[in-house]
Structure 1
């Protein structure tokens, strides 16, 4: 059988369940036990709804930012492709201009070399013309000397293997 102390403790626990239902004082007609989890849900529902709304807004902002970034990336890629195309065209023009300049310089250098060669050829011809009479005279004199020396010396006897003799 319970003692008086245990009964009071159990009764106190029983009474604490009804305490949040009404203010202390006279007994209320039909007290109901308090539902703390429902009270907490009711209390937290508005802030949680605001938090869900903030999360939805943040998701929307992230989606818009991702779409804007993708659009900018596509625009940048397109612009980069245009710049590369323009640069390649400019490079072709620069190569063509450079080739023309190099060709023109080479043609100028070739013309200068040709003119110098022509001047040297004219100088050689002039020297040859000025020296030709003297050299011709010396050659004629040498030939005449050889002829005179040949006529003065007797012809060599025909060799054993030479049946015709001298071919002169």
Structure 2
């Protein structure tokens, strides 16, 4: 139900105050407002449609970018895994080379120590053998090499 204000607007005079004018019609203010507001509202509808189109385009572009980023990430992971295998193989080869070099160094050290031990043994053997022979000869009561019992 229209309020008092709307009722009063409908009954306001159509012309200047004074004697009654023939055929006066109350003004259609709501029609005038609609006529006046129609162009800006139409432009707002166009703007809202454009905003919807821009949002839809942005959402589509965001989906494309997410998909491209996902593909890039998958490719990066594939490349990293392939590269990791190469790095593991290179590391294993380097460790094997280092271990072989260390084994060669240890073998050379042991050969030198063995040769030194053998040289000491060769140097000490005649003296040790002579002492043992002298002791056995003394135990048996045999004359020693110098000509008499010890």
Q: TM-score, normalised by structure 2?
A: 0.76
Q: Does 1:37 align with 2:30?
A: yes
Q: Distance in 2 between matches of 1:72 and 1:146?
A: 104
Q: Structure 1: 5+ residue runs without aligned partners? A: 1-12, 150-168
Tell me how far 1:106 sits from its aligned partner: 1.2
> What does 1:14-163 correspond to in 2, within 5 Å?
17-19=12-14, 27=21, 30-148=23-141
Runs of 4+ in 1 over 3 A off after TM superposition: none
Q: Distance in 2 between matches of 1:82 and 1:142?
A: 86
Of structures 1 and 2, the larger Rg is shown by 1
Q: How many residues align?
A: 132
Tell me how far 1:55 sits from its aligned partner: 0.6
Cα RMSD for the two superposed structures: 2.5
Q: TM-score, normalised by structure 1?
A: 0.69
> Residue 115 of structure 2: SS of its match in structure 1?
helix
Q: Distance in 2 between matches of 1:36 and 1:146?
A: 152
> Residue 19 of structure 1: SS of its match in structure 2?
coil
Tell me how far 1:116 sits from its aligned partner: 1.6
